[in-house]
Structure 1
Amino acid sequence: MALSRMRRAAAAAAVAVLSLSACSTGATGENQASGTAAEDQFPVTIEHAFGETTIEEAPERVAAVAWANAETALALDVVPVGMPLIEFGGNDHGTTPWIDEALDGLDASIGTENAPVQYSEADGIAFDDVAATDPDVIIAAYSGLSQEDYDKLSRIAPVVAYPETAYGTPWQETTSMIGKALGRSAEAEQLIADTEHAIADKAAEYPQLEGKSFIYANLVPGGDTSIYTDLDSRPRFLQALGLTMAPVVEENIKGEEFYITWSNENLDQLDSDIFLSWVASQEVADSLASDPLLGQIPAVKNGSFVADADPTRTVSISAINALSIPYALDNVVPLIADAATAADNAK
């Protein structure tokens, strides 16, 4: 993709260093981090929800837990020694198209000797598997670590935890924190700027998005409707494109919550220009308009809604990060723009 090529061109010197050598476990974090040590002086101290973590020297072996963290490292051209399998929205490699592209470009494709170790987090953090990678640092800036999780991981290596709210770290802050931990702060700030520029450019391609109100939810025929708040990365992504959260959602947020549950008896009150939902299957998506309850949502009636049954598209914005954003821009935004056009036509 264009953004990925631009990043790699800007970091050509670092990539050249990367290609010269790699750890036996496939970690290229050693070369990338130490290559910028003169710029980012160690030790560095990173504050987070559980206190602060001091990293004494540029890490050579980087392990990731939870979503988005391994992807952010890859966006900074650092291949982790270990990372979680993508078990929702993933492909046969337990990765995604954007992860595969990054690994291919860093000579660390899954199945090769330089590839990261992958571990399942279906039952929670794989502590033993993480420990087996012998990491110098564990990145979890976007995660839901408990105090117990943090304490266990800290016995393995220094941990970069989330700054305030579990699973609430904006992708920009995730990028900054991980960049600092890896000795790549300047690269992280450039990556943020490039990515924000790419978002603005994509929004400019679809002027019909500007100012449209939206609701992002999970619709389940016969079940409760969950509506995501702006603590969640999906609404944040839509807001970055120029859309605004529907007033009916903002008025019903009671505190720091990622979603609110909406009674199906009141679905006709969910007024917005655009309504977006991830759904479990294409069959569910096709049934929404005719569902006696869900069909009462104004945007569903108007045809200005997106019911996305593609798990890869869904995961690209569910834990959005600098590596997944280009994919989301190319594959999710056009769907939203079509709904915005339908909203205009319905007026």
Structure 2
Amino acid sequence: MVLTRRAALGMTGLAGLAAMAGCATPGGEAADASGTRTVEHPLGTAEIPVRPQRVIALDAGAGLQTSLEAGAPLIAAETLAGETAISDYLPKPPGGFQPLGFNEIDLERLTALAPDLIIGSRSRVEELYPQLTKIAPTVAYLNTADRVRWRDTALTVADLLGARPELERRLAEFDAAAKDFAEQHTESLKQRSVALVRFTADEVRILTGVIFPSDLLAQLGVRRPASNEPKEADATYISLTRETVPVLADADTILYFSGGGGFAQESGELFAEVTEGPLWRRLPAVKAGRAHQVNALNWWDGYSTSAAHACLTELAGLL
């Protein structure tokens, strides 16, 4: 059985989010004599190995990327569509690793792989959760679709893999790099406001809130213009049409990219129409040469300290 569907990005927050986020983090659970431990998560309770040996990640974001950063025994994972299945900034998968494709769950294939742990974002595994639990212990976690910061999700995944110390080390290393970056670019960050824009297949979106690239800019102390402030406090994007693109006129700098999430080709027509059109060309940031197209693999598909470092490197050359 194969199910194909798009990840539910931009979903409304879940009731009791903070409580569930805590439940999804199994740190501190005591292992029993059989080498397993009980963890609670947004979809139920699971008895998982203390040291899993055959992990499948049904998520090309935190599941795949944190597993690779942690050096987990990852036997298979969902990957990106298009030319780049796994971004180059990530550690290489272990030998024998099998890519499962983008947004596909093939139950027969998963069964044949004989995992001892399946992990995935709530939005990815919820529909087939009962079937997945018959294959192996399955744990769901919350992510930015549920208004949870990327780094908190990464820590949850690391906990499930028994690799929290390694992830904490990587986060501390990135935090130090981010602090150095902010200090080195203090004047630029103070003087210029930055708009963050993504082109999808049917609209232009200003990214905001806890979504990975917006959260990263916030950590760096980047000033966002008024047009980037959402009406709803927990919103992760603001929709624009071709006609409302001029609201970006209050941005000193615009960082923008096309697609991401495996859908890069789908946004091509709209992207070309807007960026080659008169309304875009009249924007002050565009006229001043401060509208920069950035790499969607870093800024959208990224969900890890490796991606965050890649964004820093790219941003350093643009300020």
> What band does the TM-score fall into relative to the shorter chain?
0.7 to 0.9
Q: 1:246 to 1:175 in 2, by over 3 A?
A: same
- How far apart are 1:62 and its partner, in Å? 1.0
Write the distance in 2 (CA, Å) between the matches of 1:257 and 1:128: 37
The answer to whether the 8 A contact 1:47-1:163 is kept is no
Q: 1:66 to 1:328 in 2, by over 3 A?
A: same
Q: 1:194 to 1:289 in 2, by over 3 A?
A: same
Write the distance in 2 (CA, Å) between the matches of 1:198 and 1:275: 23
- How far apart are 1:335 and its partner, in Å? 4.2
Pairing partner for 1:265 from 226, 243, 250: 243
- How far apart are 1:305 and its partner, in Å? 1.4
| Residue-by-residue CA offset, 1:285-341 (whole Å, 9 max, x unaligned) | 898665212223332233221123xxxx311221321232233322x223442xxxx
The answer on 1:103 being equivalent to 2:92 is: yes
The answer to whether the 8 A contact 1:268-1:298 is kept is no
| Residue-by-residue CA offset, 1:23-80 (whole Å, 9 max, x unaligned) | xxxxxxxxxxxxxxxx985244444332443425321111111222122111112240
Q: Which residue is 2:315 aligned to? A: 333
What value does the CA root-mean-square deviation take over the aligned residues? 3.2
Q: Which residue is 1:187 aligned to? A: 166
SS at match of 2:251: coil
Pairing partner for 2:306 from 320, 323, 332: 323
The answer to whether the 8 A contact 2:38-2:45 is kept is yes
| Residue-by-residue CA offset, 1:92-149 (whole Å, 9 max, x unaligned) | xx322123xx227xxx3xxxxx231111125x333333332211112224x6325313
Write the distance in 1 (CA, Å) between the matches of 2:159 and 2:127: 25
Pairing partner for 1:295 from 277, 281, 286: 281
Q: Following superposition of structure 1 onto structure 2, how do residues 135-214 of structure 1 map, counting pairs within 5 Å?
A: 135-141=115-121, 144-145=123-124, 147-163=126-142, 166=145, 168-211=147-190, 212-214=192-194
User: What is the TM-score of this pair, normalised by structure 1?
Assistant: 0.68
| Residue-by-residue CA offset, 1:177-212 (whole Å, 9 max, x unaligned) | 122111222222222212222222333333344344
Specify every segment of 5 or more residues in structure 1 that has no aligned partner in the other structure, as ranges: 1-38, 109-113, 338-347
SS at match of 2:72: coil
SS at match of 2:118: strand
Write the distance in 1 (CA, Å) between the matches of 2:270 and 2:182: 29
The answer to whether the 8 A contact 1:140-1:162 is kept is yes
Write the distance in 1 (CA, Å) between the matches of 2:270 and 2:96: 37
> What letter corresponds to residue 115 of structure 1 in structure 2?
G
Pairing partner for 1:75 from 57, 69, 80: 69
Specify every segment of 5 or more residues in structure 2 that has no aligned partner in the other structure, as ranges: 1-27, 259-263
- How far apart are 1:167 and its partner, in Å? 6.4
Pairing partner for 1:120 from 94, 97, 101: 101
> What letter corresponds to residue 101 of structure 2 in structure 1?
S
SS at match of 2:136: coil
Pairing partner for 1:59 from 52, 57, 61: 52
Write the distance in 1 (CA, Å) between the matches of 2:82 and 2:106: 17
Q: 1:164 to 1:292 in 2, by over 3 A?
A: closer
The answer on 1:242 being equivalent to 2:226 is: no
Write the distance in 2 (CA, Å) between the matches of 1:254 and 1:103: 39
Q: Following superposition of structure 1 onto structure 2, how do residues 25-40 of structure 1 map, counting pairs within 5 Å?
A: none
| Residue-by-residue CA offset, 1:240-273 (whole Å, 9 max, x unaligned) | 22213322221x4336443221133332222222
Write the distance in 2 (CA, Å) between the matches of 1:245 and 1:49: 33
SS at match of 2:127: helix
Pick which of 203-212 and 264-273 moved more.
203-212
Structure ranking higher in strand proportion: 2
User: What is the TM-score of this pair, normalised by structure 2?
Assistant: 0.74
Write the distance in 1 (CA, Å) between the matches of 2:242 and 2:203: 7
The answer to whether the 8 A contact 2:253-2:285 is kept is yes
The answer to whether the 8 A contact 1:48-1:160 is kept is yes
Name the % identity: 22
The answer to whether the 8 A contact 1:235-1:245 is kept is no
The answer on 1:254 being equivalent to 2:232 is: yes
